């Protein structure tokens, strides 16, 4: 009897078919395209990080990394998993157990979805898929929590924490001043090179390739901040590096390294709550408006193309709102007319 009777003839390679629909292969093509478009390093890192989170979900569900199984319903399952099952900071050696809680915040979930939106939109445009599974997926509703800022007293205590006799502490002190005075994002500040600083005009250039907006902008700094930068540059001459903020061995300082050191300064200063580099930007923007700064000039300093982003970004403190209300309440006029001296009948 012929053993071939009733058997399916194999012409195509199974592995070739799998490769054609491989999610990993398609992601690498997407990633290469975004590198070619000149996306910022931080954006590219987020693409890979957030794709990895999605792959973790597929592994937990024991699903293959095949683009054909990715549906809108599966994406929604992923959202529910992140909100109700995923452990925050799971396995992190830098986070204590009490911070490793079940369920990610809506902000974190939406950040991870953003990469998938860009990824699947790219695949559809390239003809790799017929339907974008993210098309009908909505973001998770986010609570409009009040943005936290530091008080003047807290800022002073934080700036007094570094021991300026030590190089690394002095560098961190200068960086904190630059973050506050220039309203910089941490990666923008750490990317500053010597040639980006114009000491004659007191301006620092944020290059397009490091700016989140992908547009070059020019940020003014006060004379004292420029003086600190000049002093730091002189301190680091031996390293022969174009970058201003350098680690002890001469390599560019990393954001995570500074975050870790900032927490130590906060502890030393007796500050409670989460102290992170972006807090300087929030605080600077808020204090700028409270002092009477113009919102359109703030928009240029922050580097936002949409004024609405500035309105959402900066939340005036309760103290400022109270002071404005005291000054401009319509009751001021009413009370002044009603509070005339009464004639007392005897």
CATH of domain 19-125: 1.10.150
Contact assessment for residue 216 and residue 153, using Cβ atoms and an 8 Å cutoff: no
Over residues 275-290, the pLDDT tens digits come to 999 999 989 888 888 8
Predicted TM-score (pTM) of this structure: 0.65
What is the helix (H) or strand (E) element at residue 157, kind and residue range? helix 152-160
**Radius of gyration over alpha carbons of the chain, in Å?**
27
Least confident stretch, 70-79, 137-146, 208-217:
137-146
Closest CA to 207 of 199, 220, 195, 223: 195
The encoded tokens of residue 210 equal: 């490091």
Bigger pLDDT: 314 or 207?
207
Residues 243, 251: contact at Cβ < 8 Å?
no
Query: Whole-angstrom Cα distance, residue 159 to residue 172?
Result: 9
- pLDDT digits 0-9 by tens, 35-66: 999 887 778 889 999 999 999 999 999 999 99
Token readout for 339 is 């509070």
Q: Which CATH class is domain 152-325?
A: mainly alpha
- Which of 43-47, 146-150, 210-214, 242-246 ranks highest by mean pLDDT? 242-246
CB atoms within 10 A of CB 181: 19
Structure tokens at 65: 């990394």
Comparing 205 with 300, the larger pLDDT belongs to: 205
Q: Of the candidates 97, 146, 118, 106, which has an alpha carbon nearest to the alpha carbon of residue 44?
A: 118
Count of other CB atoms within 10 angstroms of residue 204: 26
**What is residue 204's predicted lDDT score, i.e. its pLDDT?**
95
Q: Which of 294, 283, 277 is nearest to 316 (CA)?
A: 283
Write the pLDDT tens digit of every residue in 217-246: 999 999 999 999 999 999 999 998 999 999
- Compute φ and ψ for 233, nearest 5 degrees: -60, -40
d(CA 163, CA 173): 9
What integer is the mean pLDDT of 23-28? 96
**DSSP H/E element including 206:** strand 203-206
pLDDT value for 98 = 45
* Least trusted range by pLDDT, from 24-33, 89-98, 110-119: 89-98
């Amino acid at each position: 009897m012929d053993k071939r009777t009733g058997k399916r003839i194999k012409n195509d390679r199974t592995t070739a078919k799998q490769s054609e629909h491989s999610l990993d292969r398609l992601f690498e093509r997407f990633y290469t395209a975004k590198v070619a478009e000149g996306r910022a390093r931080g954006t590219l890192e987020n693409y890979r990080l957030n794709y990895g989170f999605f792959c973790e979900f597929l592994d937990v569900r024991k699903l293959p990394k095949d683009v054909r199984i990715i549906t809108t319903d599966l994406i929604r399952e992923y959202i529910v998993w992140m909100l109700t099952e995923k452990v925050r900071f799971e396995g992190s050696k830098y986070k204590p157990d009490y911070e490793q809680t079940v369920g990610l915040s809506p902000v974190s979930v939406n950040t991870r979805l953003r990469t998938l939106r860009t990824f699947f939109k790219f695949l559809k445009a390239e003809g790799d898929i017929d339907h974008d599974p993210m098309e009908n997926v909505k973001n998770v509703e986010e609570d409009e929590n009040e943005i936290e800022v530091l008080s003047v007293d807290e800022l002073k205590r934080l700036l007094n924490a570094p021991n300026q006799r030590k190089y690394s502490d002095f560098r961190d002190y200068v960086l904190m001043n630059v973050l506050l005075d220039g309203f910089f994002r941490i990666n923008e500040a750490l990317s500053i090179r010597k040639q980006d600083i114009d000491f004659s005009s007191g301006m620092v250039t944020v290059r397009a390739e490091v700016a989140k907006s992908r547009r070059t902008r020019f940020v003014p700094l006060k004379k004292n901040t420029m003086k600190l930068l000049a002093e730091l540059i002189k301190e680091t001459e031996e390293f022969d590096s174009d970058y201003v903020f350098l680690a002890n061995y001469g390599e560019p300082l990393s954001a995570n390294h500074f975050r870790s050191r900032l927490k130590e300064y906060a502890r030393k200063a007796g500050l409670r709550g989460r102290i992170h580099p972006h807090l300087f930007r929030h605080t600077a923007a808020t204090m700028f408006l409270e002092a009477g700064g113009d919102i359109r000039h703030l928009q240029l300093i922050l580097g936002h193309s949409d004024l609405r982003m500035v309105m959402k970004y900066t939340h005036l403190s309760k103290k400022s709102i109270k002071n404005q209300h005291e000054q401009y309440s319509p009751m001021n006029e009413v009370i002044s007319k009603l509070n005339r001296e009464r004639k007392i009948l005897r």
